[in-house]
Chains A and B, each alone.
Chain A
Amino acid sequence: MQSLRDKIIAVLEVSNVELDGELNEDTPLIKSGKLDSLGLFNLALFVEREIGGKLDVTAFDLAKEWNTINDIVNFIAREQRSG
């Protein structure tokens, strides 16, 4: 079964995120400007699917909470727990 990390990488790949070096859990995606609008859009839809409900992107600090793959994994886990 595909891990959450692998699913996120798949979303980034589909979104053609240009990553100069190797992508790891702590690669900055947002603060580096690598995650463009389509990537963010796809990621938002993916997170919404994972948490199984509507996501209000204005209710949290997106630049901090989705900056790395680890951050996104933690965000989803937190939302799933609270949902």
Chain B
Amino acid sequence: MNSTYELVRYELGLKGQVIDLQSHLWSPSVALNTAYFEWKYERNPYVAESLIYLVMHDGRAVGMRGFHGMQWEGGIPNQKSIVLYADDLVIAPEHRNRGLIPKIMAAAFEDLAKRRYRYAFNLSAGPITLLSSLATGWRSVGSMQPMRQRSWRVVLRSGRNRLITRLPMLSRKNSGILRLWPEKKRASLADIDAELVRHKLRDVPSIRFEDVPRCAAMAELVERIGGSRIRHVRNAEYFQWRFQNPLGQYRFLFWEKSRLEGYLVLQEYTSAYANKEVVNIVDWEATSVAVQAELLQAAMSLAADRNLIIWSVSLCQQLTAVLDKAGFKLEPQTQCGTQEPPVLLARPIRTEELDSDWLFAGQPLLDMKSWDVRMLYSMHG
């Protein structure tokens, strides 16, 4: 590495620079990036210090890798542990391809080895981060197997836009296409009003659509359903913090009779960089498959003009059958370097543990069957 680069740990005085640097990754908005940084690193309920590693050049931050805390659980009896989530890898464009990523990763793990954490996970690596991670000791547990339900309205919008971009500039303004086929504003989750909800959900009186999470009831339901696979500790504190993510906007479907029997969480991105045609189903829990199926139908009717995406890798066969019947299709595998589907990456913090058995709560980390993964556990959600 060129000697003009210096690797340092984040300190408060560098906050502004980190937020500027993340305009290459999170969003172009300083206000949104500041809110995201504060939510993720300063208000993280599991790790008090901001574990961020920076590459400095001429006094400016030009590269970053961040780690924030998440509490995971699994096994019988249940064991809980804080695991670091590696994220936010970015190098300023003019400093890319200079060997900075391996150096920043090595420096980060050397420093983190002095702390009490055993593993780091990553559920949102892009193609470049994936390759860099695999070269530095990370292992892939497997693909999240995203399934997508394509909305015919998105297909129409895309077709219209493709057609318009092919028209010569002058004729675009006068084109009959624009008059006959004006662009209909894509509805945001925030646009779903009470009247629409009443109309769409008139046949399913047990389902409520709400803007805010019912953190205590959701946590109680998760506890009641139980499980031994590796998953986030979804208690009330977790839900309270998690849905404050400013890069996501969330809406909630609840299925209840005398008490909560199921919920489904919809999320859309707020960053200008993000795909606005997508709504993610980031969490989907219920005491029965029938309740989950009703929640899914309600979600599809409320987000009918968007593409719905869910990670299916941890779902039981009955639920993938429900998705299949509803028109969800597995996203195709693509080329290695271009658009790898989201994968689950894991790595022991200490290099000397790379050749040992990787276990969490007695379960093999590299076996996808050990995991109960939802998009909510990742920064995709």
The chain A residues found within 8 Å of chain B, CB to CB, are 15-16, 18, 30, 33-41, 44-45, 48, 54-59, 62-63, 66
Contacts and interface: CB of A to CB of B under 8 A. Distances in A.
Interface string B93-124: 00011111111001000000000000000000
Nearest to B143: A58
Given A15-B97, A33-B99, A63-B137, A40 B335 contact: no
Nearest to B136: A63
Nearest to B334: A54
B366 to A, nearest CB: 11
Contact of A36 (B97, B137, B333, B336): B97
Given A33-B103, A36-B97, A36-B98, A41 B333 contact: no
Interface residues of B, number: 28
A12 B131 CA distance: 15
Contacts of B134: 57-58, 62-63
Contacts of A48: 335-337
Contacts, number: 77
Contacts of B140: 58-59
Contact of B106 (A33, A35, A55): A33
B180 interface: no
B178 interface: no
Given A18-B99, A37-B128, A57-B134, 16 more contacts: A33-B102, A33-B103, A35-B135, A36-B96, A36-B97, A36-B98, A36-B99, A36-B100, A37-B129, A56-B336, A57-B130, A57-B340, A58-B134, A58-B143, A63-B134, A66-B135
Contacts of A18: 98-99
B136 A55 contact: no
Contacts of A30: 135
A33 B100 CA distance: 9
B156 to A, nearest CB: 31
Complex A-B, nearest 8 residue pairs according to Cβ-Cβ distance, in ascending order: A58-B140, A33-B102, A40-B131, A62-B134, A55-B336, A38-B97, A44-B337, A37-B128
B336 A54 contact: yes
Contact of B97 (A16, A57, A62, A66): A16
Contacts of A56: 333, 336
Nearest to A17: B99
B135 A40 contact: yes
A37 B137 contact: no
Nearest to B99: A36
